[in-house]
Amino acid sequence: MNVPLLDLKAQYAAIREEIRPALDRVVESQFFILGPEVEALESEIAAYAGVRHAIGVSSGTDGLLVALMALGIKPGDEVVTTPFSFFATAGVIARLGAVPVFADIDPATFNIDPALLGRAITPRTRAILPVHLFGQCADMDPILAAARARGIPVVEDACQSIGAEYKGRKAGSLGDLGVFSFFPSKNLGGFGDGGMVVTNDPALSERIRLLRQHGSAKTYHHKLVGGNFRLDALQAAVLRVKLKHLDGWSAARRANAARYSELLAGTGLLDRSAVQVPVREKSGDPNHHIFNQYTLRARKRDGLQAFLKAAGIGTAVYYPVPLHLQECFAGLGNKAGDFPEAEKAAAEVLSLPVYPELAREQMDHVVRKIDEFYGERKA
Ligand SMILES: *Cc1c(COP(=O)(O)O)cnc(C)c1O
């Protein structure tokens, strides 16, 4: 049996009849950049995320970059973030000449630990950039409290977490700015790159609209030095179709995650500490995890991954090297041991297939093979 990490063909097969006319509409219009499809998607995403403004951009990375540009982040400024995320989170800080300053993660959730924020904040801190990793919101109340006490803006990297909730409020609507990615493997994925910046602040929204188009509102008149960070109409048309299915897909991912955790508990592997399943909210806890990834901690992780691969099961390590140990950040002066929880996570995590179309038999197969791996190594 084959179990890919993600099966986008299965998703497309289910919505093909809705997607084709949407693509045709754009092709017939020959209007490809921004325009009515992008504006419609912006309104729909703003309503979905519970914010006043949404600005379509070329990728999640560009969304983060333009959000920091709109806040005026400049060389020498510090931005506090997590060391355990996709590279873009810290990359955009460095691209502006600013310094990524890390605060270690909470081992239970893999998200930045608010208790460690105080130590990372200095008089040069100009923004805090928490990430809602794997589809679960960071613990935002203490993060926002620390930021507000010092007048520092908060940008949420919600690239993996569109539709996730924190105490009943949607990811992206919690800080001053939120950023979503529409990379194909995200819960809401386009047919290429795309992203969205959301905010309740009309002035920030206006700045981002300008920066997205080389800082120009009137053609060939430039108020600011921006870039080409535009979303295209074909992506918007696809995303508008998919947005209608997003909550259903995320619910299926949550159900799959719950089932994995139940099946894995049944193997006894949790009691033997061979694997740890992701923290799932207790019923009544209003946090809403959308499981862009279902991520285990696993003993002998690399061996398990190779064993599963040989059994036809796709898995991934998000992420094998924490950001503070990336070669390109050697100049920041961080060293191994500085952020021990991030380093431990990097050595232990393994994400399993959790996509909505996954069949029960496929999940059974995955759990059986994991059990088999540790069973063989019991002695
Ligand atoms: C995917 C992702 C990004 C970047 O999004 P792209 O659309 O691929 O540029 C940034 N941060 C996190 C946490 C992501 O998962």
pLDDT at 378: 53
Provide Rg for the chain, Cα atoms: 21
Q: What's the chain's length in residues?
A: 379
pLDDT at 29: 96
Task: Give the residue extent of every domain in the chain.
Answer: 8-243, 246-375
Going from the C-alpha of 337 to that of each of 318, 328, 341, 344, the distances in angstroms are 19, 18, 9, 10
Kindly report the protein residue whose alpha carbon is nearest to atom 5 of ligand 1: 60
Q: Is the CB of 195 under 6 A from ligand 1?
A: yes
User: Where does 213-281 have alpha helices with state H?
Assistant: 233-267
Q: According to CATH, what is the number of the domain 8-243?
A: 3.40.640.10
What pTM, to 2 d.p., does this model score?
Answer: 0.97
Residue 197 CA, chain-centre distance (Å), reads: 13
Give the nearest ligand 1 atom to 181 CA: 7
Q: In what order do the strands lie in the sheet with 294-298?
A: 275-276, 294-298, 349-352
Q: Is the CB of 89 under 6 A from ligand 1?
A: yes
Q: Is the CB of 88 under 6 A from ligand 1?
A: yes
Q: Is the CB of 86 under 6 A from ligand 1?
A: yes
What is the CA(267)–ligand 1 centre distance, in A? Answer: 34
Q: What is the pLDDT of residues 142-169, one digit of tens each?
A: 999 999 999 999 999 999 999 999 999 9
Q: Is the CB of 59 under 6 A from ligand 1?
A: yes
Name the stretches of the chain with pLDDT < 70: 281-286, 376-379
| CATH architecture of the domain with residue range 246-375 | Alpha-Beta Complex (3.90)
Separation of alpha carbons 149 and 307, rounded Å: 50
